[in-house]
Amino acid sequence: MKNKRDIIVNPERCTECMRCQLICSFSHTGSFNPERSGIVIKPPIEIYFNEDCLPECRLCAQYCMFGALQLKEV
C-alpha cells in the first residue's frame, strides 16, 4: 500500500492554486474548505501534511497540475 511518503514535495513549483487542498477536503469531508485539508501550504515555499492526512490517500499528488506534489515511481 502506498502512503504519503510516496509523494515527492517540490514546493518551489507550487502556485498556491489550492487544488490539492480542495480535492483533499472535498473527498474526506464533503466540503471545499482548505482549512479542513490534510495538506498545508504556507507561502512562499512550505508544503507539509498535517495529522488529518490519511496515509493511504494520494489525491493531492494526483490532482497537482504543476508538479509541486508528485507520486514516486515504484
Domain residues of the chain, as ranges? 4-71
In order along its 74 residues, the chain shows pLDDT tens digits of 445 678 999 999 999 999 999 999 999 999 999 999 999 999 778 999 999 898 889 999 999 999 999 998 76
With CA atoms as reference, report the closest residue to 39 among 22, 27, 63, 56: 22
CB 61 within 8 A of CB 9: no
Q: What is the H or E stretch that residue 21 is in? A: helix 19-29
